[in-house]
Structure 1
């Protein structure tokens, strides 16, 4: 029997799994999606105790797929035994006027697609900091939270400066979703301390670098062609590796990970995930699930092992990993704070 999936409670009271099921992979950028199959596969994650799903209004049919699964789960269960799902979505508006009616209309559209009566968590993203209307949108989200439409108001890919600005306006932010991995450790530079002080959880993605941080790439030639980098994740994270230090240094990191994984009789992915779960201020890690995508494997056992109490990285493990990561370039200097790569 695996241990139960550990949970974390956000500042508004929502309890979520520390390993979440990411739905970016159904957006269409990772291959065609069979919606019926996607709904079917989601059940195996829930059966394993992985009940928290992360999606966005811009991830193609992600909200609809969740809605179909949610509705199916309710119709199958007998009243009192409904499995509680936690649904985190993102509100990613195009910059423009952010009146309350605009914000509320977008949220109600997401609610209809997800087949929910209230929103567990709305993670807000804004493309251009020079356009200060993000503060208007967040003000309306705060009001809608007070009115009971939303449980948690959160952010996606905001930097520390803006996180501080928003918090100082009296808007309580539960979490910020940022990239965090053995490759990209920018959250540790500034954001982590602000989050610890203000009870904000970091929810992290890119932790497995789109599957590059796995046995599959150990000892392999550098992937460069479209055929090698066949998903949006692979090309995105290969670019991160290039910025961080290149393929040769990355191979050294995989060798170190393999050593640690063998010591614990687990996969390299479990070690890479555990490393991030153990970082200060990290509430949970989002692992991409290719629900309904042809040829996609399921990595439920890796996810469960990465958060089990039996996997503890020792000082020796950390020293082996950090002997490699300290030879990398400083991504804060190269790219700026978390999320800056999404803004010009």
Structure 2
């Protein structure tokens, strides 16, 4: 570790971690790798690997990816091989199985698991998060039963879901399939998880992994006081485009600016950023294990790792007055549960 990195670690807090149901310990801030899929611009793999090592030096040792995120698993595998050769601190790799509709036989599921393991260059999957596109096709239960058997055989440590709603989460749990986490969209803008899912998760020892917490970068100081971005020129990444549509559904740009101004006042009170406040707000929910923050590894100006560590610092906390001020703004917004549906409904 170089001197600069050592100085940074002294100036910023150590990364807190949380233990999942079957013993996997992950960071409360997770490196999201959707941004290397190609929908956010080109990523140079060798440069990405180098930056990933710098993230781990800062304590960001947990990575989230998927079999459909372009070269994400392959890039992680290259990083992991080099990381292990240096005998550095352990890293945790969470991937997703996102199959096309069709029969979920043992061979189909086993093949997907083996492919991810091979690409990631690991002997066991720390966590596999299963996604399904169509709830009317009940073969997702077949897939989960096979994954559960692979977990018993030691090939998978944590069996998890991504973008499943509360109704299906209850159904799967009732079938005796133990779920460790469910990855869902959760932010000050999108509070759907808090309207039912978090209660069920607390009762059943299930944790949430959240994404979209910073709305693809819109929920940051960069957009305070800025005119409304429109079109592909302003919304030049998949994340910006996606979460701008979410803000439109939530209440529009004018109300969003009111929220940013309020968050800026709270941030000033604590000496942090809007992104820190937005992240801390989600982490305050006891059902939440971690916030996944998208990383454009190797892209100039896209590294906010040291700044984001303030989100988990023990040196400050949101007060009741802070939360009330946020609620005052969000109470003016539309109810996304009613207009979109429960978590993950936007994908179905």
Q: TM-score, normalised by structure 1?
A: 0.97
**Counterpart for residue 178 of structure 2:** 172
Offset at residue 75 of structure 1 (A): 1.6
Secondary structure at the aligned position of 1:16 is classed as: strand
Name the structure 2 match of 1:72: 82
Deviations 1:130-174 (A, max 9, x none): 100000000000000000000000000000000000000000000
| SS across alignment from 1:309 | coil
Q: Could you say which residue in structure 2 is the equivalent of 1:300?
A: 305
Match of 2:159 in 1: 153
Match of 1:251 in 2: 257
Q: Over residues 210-254 of structure 1, what are the superposed CA-to-partner deviations in whole Å (9 max), with x where a residue is unaligned?
A: 000111111111101211000000000000000000000000000
Give 1:20's aligned residue.
Answer: 30
CA RMSD of aligned residues (A): 0.8
Matched, 1:132 2:142: no
| Displacement of 1:315 | 1.1
Q: Give 1:296 deviation, angstroms.
A: 4.2
CA distance in 1, matches of 2:16, 2:86: 26
State the partner residue of 2:321. 316
Are 2:219 and 1:223 aligned? no
The secondary structure found in structure 1 opposite 2:56 is helix
Count of aligned residue pairs for this structure pair: 338
Q: Where does residue 10 of structure 1 map in the other structure?
A: 20
Determine the structure 1 residue equivalent to 2:112. 106
Query: SS state of the match for residue 171, structure 2?
Result: helix
Larger mean Cα displacement after TM superposition, 314-323 or 91-100: 314-323
Q: Which moved more, 1:132-141 or 1:283-292?
A: 283-292
CA distance in 1, matches of 2:346, 2:302: 29
1:233 equivalent in structure 2? 239
Deviation at 1:175, TM superposition (A): 0.2
Distance 1:74 1:17 in 2: 19
Unaligned runs of 5+ in 1: none
| Distance in 1 separating the partners of 2:134 and 2:53 | 38
1:264 aligns to 2:267 (yes or no) = no
Give ranges in structure 2 of 5+ residues lacking alignment: 1-9
Find the partner of 1:40 among 26, 30, 50.
50
Deviation at 1:202, TM superposition (A): 0.5
Any conservation in 2 of the 1:39–1:69 contact (CA below 8 Å)? Answer: yes
User: 1:144 aligns to what?
Assistant: 150
